[in-house]
A = this chain, B = another copy of it.
């Protein structure tokens, strides 16, 4: 041997037992609570996925019968799922699985843009779209929203901004992006209208649908955009991390280009996407996810009912476009803020009071405003949350 075993062991550091002990018996303490955190609502596993979890939890379980391309595995039926079911579900010509929505956005930016190119995005974009752009050294131009209280994106501004970019840089932005809906206000811009504008200028459009795909109907074909990304752990009842990238034919050859030397491996995928359990949960949950998307109207009704009731409390107001178009909503809660100013726990009072009532998901310390989601709650749970809010405003 090059290195003797003795030498290897000699250089192994001792880890204090106390550090190891902290890793024993890890329990999630949030079970049984009503969790208002928008990132937690759409990723709750279906019973079907939960049932599959233990069978597939080991490392590369999904790769038992792989011939070299994860997405072409026949057993379990990944090939069929990715190339038929998912393409149909989101109206895409091609689908790829990624490690998340942000990784999918980066893939597209990296493939379609060169460093120094311009990316045009909406002011309501997720921070990870900005970071992906920064990683690839893109210049970011932003479509502003209309500010308080709607924070609405005016679709027409995409034309104005493209014109401005052309004037300033002598060329088109390399890519445009719209967040559909955004993760702060749940505003749903007319992505189809934006796609039409972008298409007229020959600018490819990426739709960040991390809060849409798996919750509400989305169709790349209907939107007539070039790319759409979704998030399994955010909105498709999956264990993280897993994302979905849908592509229309237009630029798919650029994003899905194969390696020069490894003929069955795609470069932007680094050869293979998410290797493991999250994909099994995506597949196992899918029939229920497909079904729940058909009941999106009920989720909207529920969200509107919640907002209507909660706005009856003086000093609570939903920001963003009204009536709400999504389960994710942003509340301005002046009444809680007023209480916090006098309360001995300050802003933390709200977290504590909610928790007392079995409700979590509002970040500890927040009281002035926060976002929440009503997705997947039953009617009586919604009522319980409304009741809790009504009680808490009584606190002196």
Contact = CB atoms under 8 A, between A and B. Distances in A.
Interface of A: 1-3, 5, 8-9, 11-15, 19-20, 22-31, 35, 37, 39-40, 42-45, 48-64, 75-77, 80-81, 84-85, 88-89, 91, 99-100, 102-103, 106, 110, 127-128, 130-132, 134-135, 188-190, 192-193, 216-219, 221-222, 232-234, 237-241, 259-262, 265, 267-268, 270-272, 274-278, 280-281, 283-284, 286-287, 290, 293-294, 296-297, 300, 323, 325, 360
B39 A63 contact: yes
Nearest to A100: B275
11 contacts: A8-B217, A19-B80, A20-B286, A20-B290, A23-B81, A26-B55, A43-B58, A102-B271, A240-B277, A241-B241, A276-B278
Contact of A128 (B192, B218, B271, B294): B271
A3 B326 CA distance: 12
A133 to B, nearest CB: 10
Contacts of A323: 1
Contacts of A31: 55
Contact of A127 (B75, B219, B265, B287): B265
A103 B110 contact: no
Nearest to A152: B2
A321 to B, nearest CB: 8
A283 B22 CA distance: 9
A392 to B, nearest CB: 21
Given A5-B296, A37-B64, 12 more contacts: A5-B300, A19-B80, A24-B48, A25-B51, A26-B52, A29-B64, A59-B234, A59-B240, A60-B234, A127-B271, A128-B270, A277-B278
